């Protein structure tokens, strides 16, 4: 099972939220690894795509100028690997900057399954049970609770709730 993050527009409620929600798979993206700038552009991350292209071009040019050969190519491959690993986090951060809120996280086999689970909880108020977890409409305040706890600035790689 894969993990999916559900993002909703700040102003949408009910059926509007379900129709406008973005479901982002949290994990390694093979297309983000193979075609980093194109994958970033596809998801509307223009600044990140330009910076990635410039960094890949710069690393390649410096590698050629210094005669690094294979090492220059491996550094460019490292940038591709970074986009493959962190591409979904970049996409989620861009959505948050645009005013989207995180509804929650779902475990599902595919995007279609995650959409079905999300719609069932939001529209029907039903509980969805499987062998891993139970998700109910009462769990929907995740986003507000998470936002309230992590409202302070963070220093470093980790943001500890309630601390700045």
- Relative to beta strand 2-9, strand 22-26 is antiparallel
What are the domain boundaries of the chain? 2-149
Specify the range with the lowest mean pLDDT, choosing from 30-34, 41-45, 87-91, 114-118: 114-118
Residue burial 35-64, b: 16+ Cβ < 10 Å; e: rest: bbbebbbebebeebbeebbebbeebbeebe
Cα dihedral 133, 137, 138, 143 in deg (nearest 10): 90
Q: Is 24 helix (H, G, I), strand (E, B) or coil?
A: strand
Work out the average pLDDT over 37-45.
94
Which residues, other chains included, contact 35 with Cβ-Cβ below 8 Å and sequence gap of 6+? none
Q: Choose from 100-109, 114-123, 129-138 the range with maximum mean pLDDT.
A: 100-109
Say what the pLDDT of residue 1 is: 85
Confidence (pTM): 0.69
pLDDT of 125 higher than 80: no
Say what the pLDDT of residue 132 is: 43
Percent of the chain residues past pLDDT 70, beyond the cut = 72
Q: pLDDT class for 149, splitting at 50, 70, 90? A: very low
Work out the average pLDDT over 14-33.
84
pLDDT of 83 higher than 50: yes
Q: φ, ψ for residue 162 (rounded to 5)?
A: 85, -5
What value does the mean pLDDT of the chain take?
Answer: 78
């Amino acid at each position: 099972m894969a993990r999916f993050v559900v993002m909703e527009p700040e102003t949408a409620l009910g059926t509007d939220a379900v129709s406008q929600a973005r479901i982002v798979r949290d994990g390694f993206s093979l297309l983000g690894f193979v075609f980093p700038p194109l994958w970033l552009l596809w998801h509307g991350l223009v600044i990140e795509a330009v910076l990635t292209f410039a960094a890949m071009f710069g690393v390649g040019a410096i590698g050629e100028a210094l005669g690094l050969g294979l090492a220059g190519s491996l550094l460019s491959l490292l940038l591709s690997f970074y986009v493959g690993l962190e591409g979904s986090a970049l996409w989620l951060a861009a959505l948050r900057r645009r005013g989207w809120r995180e509804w929650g996280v779902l475990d599902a086999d595919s995007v279609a399954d995650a959409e079905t689970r999300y719609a069932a909880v939001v529209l029907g108020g039903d509980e969805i049970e499987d062998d891993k977890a139970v998700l109910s409409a009462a769990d929907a305040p995740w986003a507000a609770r998470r936002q309230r706890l992590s409202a302070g600035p963070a220093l470093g790689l980790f943001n500890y709730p309630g601390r700045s």
